[in-house]
Amino acid sequence: MLNKSEQLSNLKVGVIGIPGKWSTEVLADRLEAKTGFRTVMDVRDIALHLDTNKVFCKGLDLTELDGVIIKKISQVYSPTTEDRIHILSHLEALGVPVFSPTGSMGKLINRLSGTLALQQGGIPMPKTRITESVEAAFEIVREFGAAILKPLYSTKARGMVYLREEDSDETVRTQLAEYQQTQPLLYIQQALNLHGRDLGMVFIGGEYFCTYARVGNAEAWNTTINSGGRYEMFEPDAELIELGRRSQACFDLSFTTVDIALTDEGPVVFEVSAFGGFKGALDGCHLDAAEAYANYVLSSIDNQKGN
């Protein structure tokens, strides 16, 4: 009989991500170190053959793998990202374990569906309103004071527009009208005082892993690393961890980061990530989330096989 280490070393788990990107490659490295098998796949190279119920990537039959991890499915979110999720859902339906489950990730590609899931789960969020009416949007912005327009498909604050309380009525109306040229459905969120920091709370298989802070550049309105922010360690209390746990429990994700801010009105959740990154945990908390995630995936597959 094979021992546990030998059982895991026989597993073949592929990584769908962005070839050459650190988070994709480091996850593949961790899996290779444990199993001896390594493959990184660009989702654009995947071909679904419905006539034979096969899924290929450059000659590799994905239906013969023991599992697939979707580390990244797109550099930026778009309706095409949802189409890619649908393709991979068929691989899942054929019996190949997919991490995270495609149904869970699909809810988070579109900002509105993810927000509604959190709202229905009773999760505290900034005041958020959605409309197609520019006039209604104008009234909402003026009621909020400062507001942020958020695209339905975006990550890392890309495409967001900050409307300041001191902006003139004409400026606000113009920005709303221009924004609606590319974003017909206006997603408007009240801008809160984040005190220059928000949090990334990491969960693996629904279990708390760590929390890091993103500390913003004083010249930027958001705290993203893309805008000059930096990672720092943060120690949350039990109540804050429970908020993060409840938030990610609105979905069924193998690996995720919950974005939380500590505001004057109390903690609020901005979103739950469909994929989540490893850099914040490494730089902020000095923890190897890729290693922990690889261990979780291999153990899950092994348990499903009944070993």
Q: What is the pLDDT of residues 90-105, one digit of tens each?
A: 999 999 999 999 999 9
Give pLDDT, residue 106: 86
143 pLDDT more than 80:
yes
Q: Residue 275: what pLDDT?
A: 86
- The larger pLDDT score, comparing residue 290 to residue 77, is at 290
For CA atoms 26, 78, 111, 157, give the dihedral sign: positive
Which range is most confident: 4-18, 149-163, 290-304? 290-304
Higher pLDDT, 306 or 282: 282
pLDDT band with cut points at 50, 70 and 90 for residue 175: very high
pLDDT score of 223: 52
Q: What value does the mean pLDDT of the chain take?
A: 91
Centre a 10 Å sphere on the Cβ of residue 259 and count the other Cβ atoms it contains: 18
Query: Where does the chain hold its CATH 3.30.470.20 domain(s)?
Result: 194-285
Return the SS3 of 223. Answer: coil
Above 50 in pLDDT, residue 165?
yes
CATH superfamily, domain 194-285, is ATP-grasp fold, B domain (3.30.470.20)
Does 4 have pLDDT greater than 60?
no
Asked whether the predicted pLDDT for residue 5 surpasses 50, the reply is yes
76 against 247, higher pLDDT: 247
* CATH annotation of 4-102: 3.40.50.20
Taking alpha carbons only, the member of 175, 204, 190 closest to residue 291 is 204
CATH class belonging to 128-190: alpha beta
Q: How many CB atoms are located within 10 Å of the residue 15 CB?
A: 27
pLDDT computed for residue 22 by the predictor: 94
- Report the SS3 class of residue 207: strand
pLDDT at 74 over 90: no
Is the pTM higher than 0.85? The answer reads yes
Please state, in angstroms and rounded to a whole number, the distance separating the CA atoms of residues 203 and 200: 10
Give how far the C-alpha of residue 114 lies from the chain's centroid of Cα atoms, to the nearest Å: 10
The band of 193, judged by pLDDT with boundaries at 50, 70 and 90, is confident
Task: Please say if the pLDDT value at position 247 is more than 60.
Answer: yes
Q: Where in the chain is the domain with CATH 3.40.50.20?
A: 4-102
Where is average pLDDT lowest: 2-11, 54-63, 126-135, 251-260?
2-11
Residue 231's pLDDT is 93
pLDDT at residue 218 above 60? Answer: no
**pLDDT recorded at residue 194:** 86
Give, in order, the Cα–Cα distances in Å from 30 to each of 69, 230, 282, 292, 296.
12, 25, 14, 9, 12
pLDDT for 110 beyond 70:
yes
Taking alpha carbons only, the member of 106, 114, 71 closest to residue 247 is: 114
d(CA 76, CA 84): 13
